[in-house]
Structures are given as C-alpha cells and as structure tokens.
Amino acid sequence: MKLAIRNYFSFVTDGLRWNLQFTFSSWVVLMVLILVAAAGAQPNIASIRFDTQTQVFRIDAADMSYVLGINERKEVQTLYWGRRISAKDTFVAARPDPGLSSFDSSINTTRQDFAAWGGGLYVEPDLKVTFPDGNRDLVLQYMSHTIAGDRLTILLKDVSRDVYVQLEYQADASTGILKRSAQVQNRTSAPLVVEQIASGTWNLPRGNDYRLRYLTGRWAGEWNLHEQLIQPGKTILESRRGSTGDQNNPWFAIDQNGSNDEERGDVWFGALGWSGSWQISIEQDEAQQVRVTGGPNSFDFGYRLAPGEHLESPDFYGGYSPDGIGGASRLLHRFELSSIVPHAPNAKLRPVLYNSWEATEFKVDEAGQEALAEKAASIGVERFVVDDGWFGQRASDRAGLGDWYVNPVKFPHGLKPLIDRVHSLGMDFGLWVEPEMVNPDSDLYRKHPEWVLHFTGRPRSEGRNQLMLNLARPDVRAYVFQALDKLLDENDIAFLKWDYNRNWSEPGWPAVAPEDQKKVYVDYIRNLYSIIAELRTKHPGVEIESCSGGGSRVDLGIMRYTDEVWPSDNTDAFDRLLIQDGFTYAYAPGVMMAWVTDSPTWVNQRSLSLEYRFLSSMQGSLGIGANLNNWKSDDFATAQKLVAQYKQIRQIVQRGSLYRLISPQKGSEYSVTESVSDDRDNAVVFAFLHSSQMLYPFPRIFLRGLKPETMYRMKVLDGKLSPDTPAVATGSFWMQHGLDVELRGDFQAAAFTLEKTRP
C-alpha cells in the first residue's frame, strides 16, 4: 500500500491566495527549497502551484515555466510556455479567445491544452471518439486536479456522457522538460471507439515567424535535418508504418526565424515516446497561433474501449531552451541519459564493441568468429558481438527467422565454446536477434502461418523475404519471450542487438473480432515494450541495442528499454558526419553506436584513412565493424592507440555536453564538434575537412562551454594544430581567441583534448 500523508494548506502571498495540496513528498521538497534558499543557490526542483482564485496552474522547472488556466467554459487553456518567469509575476485568469467570425469560432482560436473533437472544432483534435448510437460529439470540461510533487493530474469530463480524460504533466527539475500524456476512460455503460488520441497539444506564444526543424531519412541515409518556415496550414510529421520509421523521426524543434543561431535564441522542442505509427501535427491556425499535437497516428486507427476500460496515450516530451538549438539538444541529451534510458541516471558507459556483420555477413561459424575475437581483443575491444547468421537454417536473408536455435553445422557444440573463448580474451559476448520477424522458409512459419500480420485470403507482402509476427497476439508474445528467455538462460550473453528489418503491411488480426482488429497498432507496441521489460527483469545484466536496418526505430519510447541505438547501416565515415550531426539534434551521443569499418566503404566506394574513420566513430559510442583478417600490423597499432585514447575520453563524449561548433549540414566542407565534461574541466574536439579549396585554411575553431578563468592544457590526439597554439591557456582564450588546426587536402581529421591544469 502506498503511504500518503496529505494535508491542505492555504496562505496569502503577493495579495494572492494560494491553495496548495501538500503530500509528504511536498514537505520534503519544501524543506529542500528552504535549505537551498538559505545557501543562496538556484533551486533544482520543479514546482507546481495552483491559484484557486484565478484558477491558474503554474509549473516552473529549470529555465522553463508552463502556465495553464481553466477558463469560464472550463477548458484547460495554455497561458504561457517558455523561459522561466519570475516568481513575482502572476497570471490573470484564462479567458477564451473571442474567435474571429462565425467561421472561426472561439473554440478554434482558444489555445486549448487538450481539445476533443466536438462543438465545431476544426483544428487538430487531441481526442476523437464514436459512440455506438452514432454520436461523435465530445466536449471536455475541467472536473478536478491533484498536485503531487512534480506531477499535475487534471481530470476532464464530457459535458453529458461519462467519458473522462486524465491529463498528466510531469516536470523534470534539471532540464525543465515536461512529460505529458492523456488517458481516456470509458465510464459509460456501452463500448466506444477512440479514433484519435494525442498526448496533448503544445501551444507556442503567438507569432508568425516561426521556423520548424525536423528529421527525415531512408535506409542508409537517415537523420537529414530540414528547416522550413511555419506557414498557415499544417505540416504533418508521421509514420504509418507500424513502427517509428526513419522517413520522419518523432522529434521537432521550433525557433523564431532570423533571431537565432546554434547557441542563441528561444527554441521549443519535443519528442514523442512511441515506437508505433505516430503523428505530430504542426499547425498555424487562422489566428496565426502555432500548436503542436502528437500521439499515435489516427490513420486507420480505432481502439474499442469496453465499459470500464481506459486507453493511455504515449508520453510526449516538450522543452524550452533560451540557448538556441545547441542548448535544446543538450537539454534533451541530459534528459535522455538522466531519465529515459535503462538504469538512468546511472547507466553504464558504452563498451567498445566489435561486430562481425560487415566482415562475414551470414558466414558465421565457431572458428571464424574465434579468429576475429582474438584480433578484436588485441586492440582493446570490450564486447564481441556475433551478428546475423548463427541460428536456424540461416544461410542468407531468405530463411531461418523465427527459429531461434543455434545452427548445429556452424556451431556444432552450441555457442558455449565461442562464448568461453570470448570471455577468456577479456570481452563479454553479444548476439544479434530479430525476434519480431519470420521467414516463410522457417519451421515457425510452417507451423504457425496464422501468426503473422495479415488479412484473411489476401496476399502477404514480404520485405527482405520476411513477414511480421503479430506481437499483439498473446501466443506470439509468449513464443517470442520464451525463445529469448531460453537463449539468455542457456548462454552467458551480455548484449542483444535487437533488429527489425522491415515495416508493416496488411496489418490484419483475423483472430479477434473485426471491431477489435485495429487495436493491433497499440497492443503490438505494448507487448514489444513488455517483452523487453520482462527480459530485463529476469536477466538484469543484459544490455540491448535497438536497431532497425539502421536508425528506423529510434525514439524516446524504445529508448526506455534499450541501452543504445544503431543510427544507420551507412558506416561510411564521411557520410556518418552528417548522419551523426542530424542524430544529435534529438538524441545523445552516449547512445549512438558508431563503427569503424573497411575502406573503401561498400556505400560510396570512398577511401578514407583509418585515423579519419576512427575519429568519426569516436564522436559517439565506438565500435569496430571492419574485417580484421585483412588488417596489417600498422592498422592494429593505430587501432590500439585510438581505442586506448577513446577509453580516456569516452566519459566526456558519452556523458558530456555536445557543442556542434561547425555543422557539416548544407554542404559544408568542415565539421567540428566539442564535448565538454559535466564539471567543465575537460573537453574533446574533433575536426574534419572534406576538401581544401583555393588555398583557404581551415576556419578558426572557437570553443564553447569552458570556464573562462580556468587554465586548460591542450593535448593533440591526432592530426596537427598550428604551431602558434599555446600549450596552456584560459578557457576565455580558447573560446574568444580560438585556435587553428592544420588540415589540408581531402578527408583529413584531427582531434585534441583540453584538460584543466592541476596546481
């Protein structure tokens, strides 16, 4: 039972009457506030207050304030979202917008935080339902609320029917990122169908010069950053693919055009925690207001709720930064590592791994893998991963998926001898799996053809010769869990690379009643999450990577269950600069796997030096994916040196603050990133040149994030700096005067560190 010590407390301050509901945790928070105030420090806690007189909620966290009011129609109305407002300021009661005309009525121009479709709403709704009697009108009104520490819960109800919606807001004290979700409850006596459910709407301050940034991509070409002015009308970012997809990623950032750059200006941003079909609508309405609404995709959606049942939206995270898009990324990175990933905020650093995929493809066997493992260990690799090809009758991508037994020809004694050898070499062992898929040429499919997504009597479209298992089915869920659980029980496996190499087609679920079939969009994803959660509970030491033919399933939903993600199958170290730059707008370098592979690369047939390839991968979580059987002794020596250096700097790269000093976007010849440690005593800088032209030198590099008065010692890891560069200088010197790297030619790279000098 949960112990709740509650009492209610009102007091008068600044002429206002505050009515606070105090829980035990609120008292603790109050004590902390008093202590922090006494020490003269900035409080690092979130506060949520409700003014009973004006009916205004105010959420303050880090550098952000979010203010909501209940207006006279009992709608929950956004009053403010942006930079933190002084505690001395108060907000007047929410007042509905009068509307523009009979065509653009008040409910459309009033900035509702959560609007149901009804009463003549034309802007994007957060909720749309159909009742069995044909009624499709839903108008929500405020009923009650609770405040518990950093959480606000607001209960809404339809004007006449017993449909309730519970809105949740949770503020993160250290970043000011708000987590929002909505739960619709059917308390009527008949079933209803939810045709659209969003987590909520983010309303930006009124303005007509906003610019939207978003990420697009495709296989081997993920993480392209786009910018566009927000114009009247709607931009929809979405996936209808059953999973996240890389065509759009569920992330957005909005700034005011013209006034901002990488490190300056207001930025509002958000990311959806959902790995199924999703949509984020960015809409400028007829009153030039911008609203962002996000949740599961409403296309082909319909979730039947029986009486007494409820449906929960995914979490939608939103934040504000006054420090440009760079500041917005850093807040998101910090939030992901401190609140999202498994074991947050104490997740382990990513080990240096070796993966055999590009070296051997499906041709894995005990002797070949052992030979690679020995070579990997010799350069300092900490985790050895066997990729696709070890199971079932898997000789190519045409067969075997679904049959998760060790192939007896390739591994006649099972995986144990290889795993033992890997352990004896001082590494842990990882294995590739693709549990949600089945090849028609597999024992599993021959036995259970009804287990895949399909419509009765219709063709079943294949992708990479495989079909999708319907994870929403309880028997499929049980099979997938048991197969993986057995694998982990029988083998000493530290890591699973969880792959997913196609999107959905024919999303039918004939085993359930027709009116329940569309539940597959939600139930599949819930089962996916619950399988991983259950596996992690039973095998707490196991780490998991989310891979989807590259970066097609990266979002804040799957990141709650996986320790790292694979951004792209494109491992060309030059292409990767752009891919990694795009990735870091939304996601932390600490979860971004980056392998050093062979040159020339299979992608572009481009030749790059081993040093260049290493430095590119060292911007994230380093892995090696080259065929070590082809390496010369010089390559091993270079790799040993750079792997050892990476281990020295990985805390800074994986956990520090990232500054994109020169972005490779827009065809830039240059790219420079800097990572600064949390205590700002250390920094690592990577610089890359595409091609020198017309004798122009590499642009001067101005560092960021250092302490101006602290002395830092410069150390070159690779490449050359200008001979004028001092060995030691203040943070202010490195940031204001800057420094020059000597990069000339094609595909050149350099890296250096700065370390606070010790007396």
- For residues 320 and 566, which CB has a smaller minimum distance to ligand GLA in the complex? 566
What part of residues 418-437 is at the interface with ligand GLA (CB under 6 A)? 432
* Catalytically annotated residue among 266, 315, 441, 569: 569
| Dist. CA 49–CA 28, nearest whole Å | 16
| Dist. CA 218–CA 173, nearest whole Å | 36
# of chain residues touching ligand GLA (CB under 6 A): 11
CA dihedral 530, 536, 537, 540 (to 10 degrees): -170
Give all strands of the β-sheet with 56-61 in edge-to-edge order: 7-13, 16-22, 47-51, 56-61, 64-70, 76-83
- For residues 301 and 432, which CB has a smaller minimum distance to ligand GLA in the complex? 432
Which tokens sit at 142? 């405020």
- For residues 315 and 388, which CB has a smaller minimum distance to ligand GLA in the complex? 388
Q: Which of 60, 222, 255, 499 binds ligand GLA (CB under 6 A)?
A: 499
Residue number, nearest CB to ligand GLA: 388
Residue identified by tokens 């009068």 is 98
The interface mask with ligand GLA, positions 350-369, x = CB under 6 A, is: -------x------------
Asked if 245 is part of the footprint of ligand GLA (rule: CB under 6 A), the reply reads: no
What part of residues 17-56 is at the interface with ligand GLA (CB under 6 A)? none
Asked if 674 is part of the footprint of ligand GLA (rule: CB under 6 A), the reply reads: no
With a CB cutoff of 8 Å and minimum separation 6, the contacts of 22 are 6, 7, 8, 9, 30
What part of residues 197-216 is at the interface with ligand GLA (CB under 6 A)? none
* 3-class secondary-structure state, position 362: coil
* 3-class secondary-structure state, position 342: coil
519 in Cβ contact with 572 (< 8 Å): no
Asked if 387 is part of the footprint of ligand GLA (rule: CB under 6 A), the reply reads: yes
| Dist. CA 442–CA 466, nearest whole Å | 10
Strand duo 711-718 + 746-756: pairing: antiparallel
∠ CA(561), CA(564), CA(567), 5° rounding? 120
- Contact stretch for ligand GLA (CB under 6 A) within 120-128, 236-244, 416-424, 544-552: 544-552
Is 499 a known active-site residue? yes
Q: Which of 170, 439, 501, 601 binds ligand GLA (CB under 6 A)?
A: 501
Is 428 a known active-site residue? no
If we measure between CA atoms, which residue out of 228, 255, 273, 272 comes closest to residue 321? Answer: 255
> Cα–Cα distances in Å, from 493 out to 98, 247, 252, 528?
62, 33, 37, 20
- For residues 358 and 611, which CB has a smaller minimum distance to ligand GLA in the complex? 358
Biggest alpha carbon distance in the chain?
81
* Catalytically annotated residue among 246, 285, 315, 499: 499
Q: Which of 550, 582, 589, 664 binds ligand GLA (CB under 6 A)?
A: 550
Minimum CB separation of residue 387 from ligand GLA in Å reads 5
- For residues 317 and 566, which CB has a smaller minimum distance to ligand GLA in the complex? 566
Minimum CB separation of residue 355 from ligand GLA in Å reads 7
Q: Which of 60, 75, 150, 388 binds ligand GLA (CB under 6 A)?
A: 388
Minimum CB separation of residue 432 from ligand GLA in Å reads 5
- For residues 354 and 734, which CB has a smaller minimum distance to ligand GLA in the complex? 354
Asked if 176 is part of the footprint of ligand GLA (rule: CB under 6 A), the reply reads: no
Which tokens sit at 497? 């690379």
* Contacting residues toward ligand GLA, per CB under 6 A: 357, 387-388, 432, 499, 501, 547, 549-550, 566, 569
Active-site residue set: 499, 569
